[in-house]
Amino acid sequence: MTQTIQAFADAIVENVSKVIIGKEDVVRLTLAALLAEGHVLFEDAPGLGKTTLAKALARSLGCTFSRIQFTPDLLPSDVTGIYWYNQKTQAFEYRPGPIMGQIVLADEINRATPRTQSALLEAMQERQITVDRDTYALPHPFLVLATQNPIELEGTFPLPEAQIDRFLLKTSLGYPSEKEENEILIRYARQDPMVSLTAVTTPEEVVFMQAAVRDIRVEDQVRAYLVKIVRATREHPAVDLGVSPRGALALYRAAQAWAGIHGRAFVLPDDIKLLTPYVLMHRIHMSPHTRLRGRTPEEVLAEIVASIPAPVFQ
């Protein structure tokens, strides 16, 4: 089964790489979030390919894609959908909003007001939305890829802790290397490769793989190692607010997915180490004194991981 998961992931990465050049690690992280039934927050400057990645992933998976352009005047009903009166039937009918897509791009999520941002809370955690007391289940699979610009602060609303904690991992695409940028110009010279991109799997296959990932084995020592890292974030003097149990579960699920993507039926301590910055970085709140000293969450997490001995298997 793990070989099947690896073959599934390799096919997706290869297909997406026809459009997104040189970012295979980011694509694999996004796939890990998808297989762990989580969501991804991209923090990047404009023009680096976040929207293109979301579209390419949706097309490769054969999933429906919807985009929500967050602005200060966006209303919660613009996300979830509305009831409208059909004069032909003389009844109110539900018109679904863009949140009902399978792959949802929440573009510039921090530009919406907290009221609108909160419309995503139920959807991201419980896979359902409530409109006028009626509850609607979201499609499977369901993945939110949100973006925010770390440079522009004017006209933005920082994501509340409850919102940011619902993202399984946070990452960035970053600028391409010189070789990759040359390849981008060559590949896009005549035609956008997205036009000819086709699906290499189905949504049903994705759901099957999500269930298969849950069977990836996590030994007692590895689980205990994960718990020690998470608990250390709550006790570190530089941290005001440590990682929640939701964050611990996110790291656990992400590690299972990462192991499966790499053809293993078990999680290694190295999987925990590698994923810790991506899964926990946005979940810890640094103390004001620590921020004034210029220390970052990445540095604190690296310090925590270095201080906890990893289990060794004979």
CB 106 within 8 A of CB 69: no
Q: Which pLDDT belongs to residue 25?
A: 92
What are the structural domains, with CATH classification, of the chain? 7-183+201-208 (3.40.50.300), 216-307 (1.10.8.80)
Q: Which pLDDT belongs to residue 227?
A: 95
Q: Which pLDDT belongs to residue 192?
A: 87
* CA–CA–CA angle 64, 275, 145 (5° rounding): 20
Residue 267 has pLDDT above 90, yes or no: yes
Report the relative pairing of strands 169-171 and 239-241 from DSSP bridges: unpaired
- pTM here is 0.91
Q: Give pLDDT tens digits for 155-194.
A: 677 787 878 888 999 999 989 899 999 999 998 888 888 8
pLDDT average, residue stretch 286-290: 81
269-287 in b/e form (b: 16+ CB < 10 A) is: bebbbbbbbbbbbbbbebe
**Is residue 118 packed enough to be buried (19+ CB in 10 Å), middle (13-18) or exposed (0-12)?**
middle
Q: What single letter denotes the amino acid at residue 268? A: L
Distance between CA 66 and CA 53 in Å, rounded?
13
In 3D space, the residue among 105, 109, 106, 20 whose CA is nearest the CA of residue 65 turns out to be: 105
Indicate the SS3 state at residue 117.
helix
Distance between CA 179 and CA 176 in Å, rounded?
8
